[in-house]
Amino acid sequence: RQSNLASSLHNLDGRSYGNLKQIRGRYTFGPVTVFIDRVQADPFASPSKVRVRVDRADAKFPLDLTTDRADRIAAADYLLRAGNEVLAKLDQRALILGRPGQEILERTNILIDDAGFEARLLVNLPARGRRILGHQAADILTRDLPEFAERLFLFDRWSDAPAGRGGNTPAPSAKGLADHVQLHRDQLELRSHLSEAGLIGFVGNGAILPRKSGDSDLPMKSSDAVVFTSPPELEHTVELSSGRTVTGMGIPRGVTVIVGGGYHGKSTILRALERGVYPHIADDGREWVISDPTATSIRAEDGRAVTGDDISAFINNLPSGSDTRFFSTTNASGSTSQAANLVEAIEAGANTLLIDEDTSATNFMIRDERMRALIPAEREPITPFVDRVRPLLTEQGVSTVLVAGGSSAFFEVADLVIALDAYVPADVTARARELVGVEDGAEPSVEASDAVFAAAPARVPTAGALRPSSKTKSAKAKGLDTVQFGRSFIDLAALSQLIDGQQTGAIAEALEYLAEIFDGKTSITEALAEIDAMLDAQGIDGITGHRAHPGHLARPRTQEIAAALNRFRGLRLVD
């Protein structure tokens, strides 16, 4: 029906915009199938949705790069980046494929399945005033869109320029694709090796951790950055099955404290570990920064709402008399918000916590001896984190990496102390322990006490907990940091590991999905596991109920889905 679409569009030229609706449907252009799934109602409405698809038999992609599930994520990421270059070459700005950042995320933008390859685009169909610009629309949809699909999805048409120097082969290229998929494989293999080796984080020698600027995720110019080098004591070398050898600093399970003077790079290293839950593209500088995928940043976030958290391990005997085993507030303090963030992270499956002094409530973290003497324990509701970090490890198996430049309080409880001096790390564990009088080789101290992290009672939302009051379409992402849910807004600005607006979009869908699961019996933990299993089985399309065109979404971690749920001010629990 190719001539069909072109001639319809030419005929529609100059007619009122609403008539565009009739072009919805499916059209064939040689090997390319174009689906026009949704047509915007007017020129200012959100863009129309179109897909292009090429069958495997025509695409002729190497099967070994596009079959395994993880390979498909990497290959789709490559095709997304290459697709943007193709669009730039076609100089076609009306077609929007979506732009990735420095990470490789599972996304809906490009779909690779057993049958073929599909790109999901948004398109602003052109108008003058409220009149259709039919000839231009025909150029976009019947010339450039199929041409885009052919250049991207017909492997035989790819340039195969000789192996690029430093990844500069023009995309798409067979070598570019193969390298991209292989890097991703190697990163995943290293990650699974780390967990077997008892490491919760790894920073490769040669890594460039600092970014170009506070508002850019691109690497600092290598001439300005001090490249990372592991202290010899912490160095690990891993030989990957591809033949690649990676050497760098391994951070073992346990309590690790990062110290050093101000501006010596402490937060930068922690931030790199925070991002290390995601794989990074070549030349990012963090390709070999790999963390426990459940690692979660914990910070103070005063003002947030908390619903029914058991924060009693940290906070007790509040002057208000509230029960901190089932703590709710519409306006948490610095310390209570940090405690809530911590127990919620554990509820959502975090095995590693990342904490920076810069974003922590001091009274949550430590209390010094004189203050302990002045304020009797029963008048102080907070048991500081320094007293809980060991039980967290021994009772819950949760490791901590903590930046603390201002206090030696954590030396006694640390398994490892890393000092940064002008961005160069050193293992200073022995010296730090000596300073606080812990004998060499002794286990870090904990006051013997009963278990402080009694099995937290499961939190079970009520059946209607996620039914927003308004009747309008329920959940919607508003940029990276906000989800609108019914009439309320969920503020996600404190989630440093929510990194892409498409993840926020998927979180909005996840909340709607959760609304269906919660029946007054299912706990938050069970519901999150259900979503995760569904995403593993069906991909992100599954969370939208497999709409033909799901929009541009990216897979968030369970931790960030949970974080959004926990910040919803309308959350209600069964008591």
The residue ranges that bind ligand ADP (CB under 6 A) are 209-210, 220, 225-226, 260, 262-268, 423
DSSP H stretches of helix in 276-403:
334-347, 362-365, 369-374, 389-396
Residues 6+ apart with CB under 8 A from 291: 200, 201, 202, 273, 274, 276, 277, 352
- Residues of the shown chain interacting with Mg ion in the complex, contacts defined by CB under 5 A: 266-267, 358
DSSP SS3 for 67: coil
Smallest distance, ligand ADP to C-beta of residue 265, A: 4
Q: For the chain, how far is it from start to end, CA to CA, in angstroms?
A: 60
* Residue bearing tokens 């690779």: 112
| CA gap 156, 167 in Å, rounded | 20
Q: Which is nearer to ligand ADP, 110 or 420 (CB)?
A: 420
Nearest-approach distance from CB 299 to Mg ion, in angstroms: 12
Q: How far apart, in whole angstroms, are the C-alpha atoms of residue 100 and residue 78?
A: 10
Contact present, 264 and 161 (Cβ < 8 Å):
no
Find the shortest distance in angstroms from Cβ 215 to ligand ADP: 12
Task: Identify the bridge partners of residue 80 per DSSP, sorted by sequence position.
Answer: none
| DSSP assignments along 153-210, one per residue | H-GGGSB--S--GGG-SPSSBHHHHHHHHHHHHHHHHHHHHHHHTTEEEEEETT---S
- By a kind-dependent CB cut-off of 5 to 8 A, residue 260 interacts, out of Mg ion, ligand ADP, none, with ligand ADP
Q: Where are the alpha helices (DSSP H) in 385-482?
A: 389-396, 429-435
Q: Indicate which of ligand ADP, Mg ion, none lies near residue 225 (CB less than 5 to 8 Å, by partner kind).
A: ligand ADP
Question: Smallest distance from the beta carbon of 209 to ligand ADP, in angstroms?
Answer: 5
Residue closer to Mg ion by CB (options 239, 358) is 358
- Whose Cβ is closer to ligand ADP: residue 265's or residue 279's? 265
* Distance of closest approach, residue 491 Cβ to ligand ADP, in angstroms: 24
Q: Nearer to Mg ion by C-beta: 89 or 212?
A: 212
Long-range contact set of residues 60-63: C-beta below 8 Å, sequence gap at least 24? 60/154, 60/155, 60/156, 61/117, 61/155, 62/155, 62/174, 62/177, 62/178
Residue nearest to Mg ion (CB): 267
Partner touching 44 among ligand ADP, Mg ion, none, CB below 5 to 8 Å by kind: none
Q: Based on CB atoms, which residue is closest to ligand ADP, 17 or 423?
A: 423
DSSP characters for 280-307? Answer: B-TTSS-TTEEE-TT-EE----TT--EE
CB of 102 to ligand ADP, least distance (A): 15
CB of 465 to ligand ADP, least distance (A): 39
**Residue among 70 and 220 whose Cβ is closer to ligand ADP:** 220
Complex with ligand ADP: residue 117 or 423, whichever CB lies closer: 423
